[in-house]
Structures are given as C-alpha cells and as structure tokens.
Amino acid sequence: MFLQQLHQIKAFVFDVDGVLTDGTVHVTESGEQLRQFSIKDGYALQLAIKRGYHIIIISGGRSNGVALRLRGLGIQDIHLAAESKIDIYNEFINNNDLKAEEVIYMGDDIPDLPVMKLVGLPVCPSDAAEEIKAVSKYISPISGGKGCVRDIIEKVLKIQNKWYDPTPSAHDGSINTDETLTL
C-alpha cells in the first residue's frame, strides 16, 4: 500500500529540526545557533525541485542560516517561526491545487502531529517521537539529519521514474564564497 501511494505524490512538506537536521543546536559564545545538514538530503531536495515537485518547509524554529541553506537549494516556500503549521499547510495545498493524498509530510515531534494527521502520507525519521511513529505510514530506517529526507524523496522519484539524472550537477546549493581553489 505504501509504495502504491508514492505514485500520487506531487509535494513534500518537511520540518527542519529533527528531520533536515539531527536536532542538535550548537550555540557559539556570541549566541549564534548552528545546525548541521546532510549533503545527501540537499542533493535530493534540489533534484526534486528540478523535477517539478513542490517543496515546502514548515518549522517552529527560526534561523537565518537555515533559510540561507534552504534557499541555496532552490526552496522558495520556507516558513520559519511558524505558529500554526496547519494554517500554512492548508494555504499551501490550496494555492497549489493539491489533494491531501498527493502530499508527504515528514516530521519528528509533537508539533508536527496535527498536520501529519491531515496529509495523505505522513512519514518520519527513525528517531522520531513515538506519537509521530504511531501515525506514520513509513518510518525511514535513517535518523533525522542523516539522510532520511533523501530516503523518502529517492523512493518517490524512483517509483515515478524521475530519479536518475543523466546530467548531474556537483552544485548542491552550498553558499558561494567566490573563493578559488588552486592545487
């Protein structure tokens, strides 16, 4: 049943902390909060966008660095410091003429639960909260921030015959610092 549902997917909704990151926040002496992202997730996200899928980020967290990273991957629909994930999700599906069964939501903790109960295909990383696992139709064997996003995107793109890219790009959305590497 799960694999059959992947044929209908047109959009992905992702939380950030615990999904795109491992949920760890490193705080510098100046108070800056740093998060770590997986390059494998980044490749899958930019490929999904290239293939025409809708990607939206809905997170209660707020970080300029997170927004910068996600925009660098080509994601335009980024909602940080979200107070009502349901309102943002409903607006997203209405604005993009999507049905619930065409949407995957990957979340990992209690604030994701209300939206996960609405989407057609709720999924989560292996280290999600038990309440999230209980409503998920797929639990990735991979934990948050370690490639779980790539896992679900890759499954969808493969089942829809859109995974292989004959002209892959080495660009992963990393920030261009205009530095030249010489060997």
Contact 101, 121 (CB under 8 A): yes
The boundaries of the domain holding residue 77 are 2-159
Question: Average pLDDT for residues 11-31, to the nearest whole number?
Answer: 92
142, 136 Cβ separation under 8 angstroms: no
Task: For residues 97 and 84, give the distance between their C-alpha atoms in angstroms, rounded to a whole number.
Answer: 20
Total domains in the chain come to: 1
Structural domain includes residue 151: yes
Q: What is the pLDDT of residue 169?
A: 65
Calpha distance 93→12 (Å, rounded): 11
- Is residue 139 scored above 90 in pLDDT? yes
Name the more confident of 87 and 23.
Answer: 87
Split at pLDDT 50, 70, 90, the class of 12 is very high
Residue 149 CA, chain-centre distance (Å), reads: 6
Map residue 16 onto helix, strand or coil. coil
Greatest Cα-to-Cα distance within the chain, rounded to the nearest angstrom: 53
pLDDT, tens digit, 9 for 90 and up, residues 106-117: 999 999 999 999
In a domain, 78, yes or no: yes
Mean pLDDT of 13-27: 93
Is pTM, for the whole model, over 0.85? yes
Within a domain: 129: yes
Does residue 183 fall inside a structural domain? no
Count CB atoms within 10 A of the CB of residue 55.
21
Asked if residue 73 lies in contact with residue 49, where contact means CB atoms within 8 angstroms, the answer is yes
The confidence score (pLDDT) of residue 170 equals 59
Q: What is the CATH number of the domain that holds 73?
A: 3.40.50.1000
Cβ contact 38:150 at 8 Å? yes
Q: Binning pLDDT at 50, 70 and 90, where does residue 96 land? A: very high
Q: In the predicted model, is pLDDT for residue 97 greater than 60? A: yes
Q: What is the pLDDT of residue 172?
A: 52
pLDDT digits (tens, 9 = 90+) for 30-81: 988 888 899 999 999 999 999 999 999 999 888 888 999 999 999 999 999 9
Alpha carbon dihedral 96, 35, 108, 102, in 10-degree steps, equals 20
Residue 176 lies in a domain: no
Confidence band of 149 (pLDDT split at 50, 70, 90): very high
In-domain check, residue 56:
yes
The answer as to whether 167 is a domain residue is no
pLDDT at 46: 95
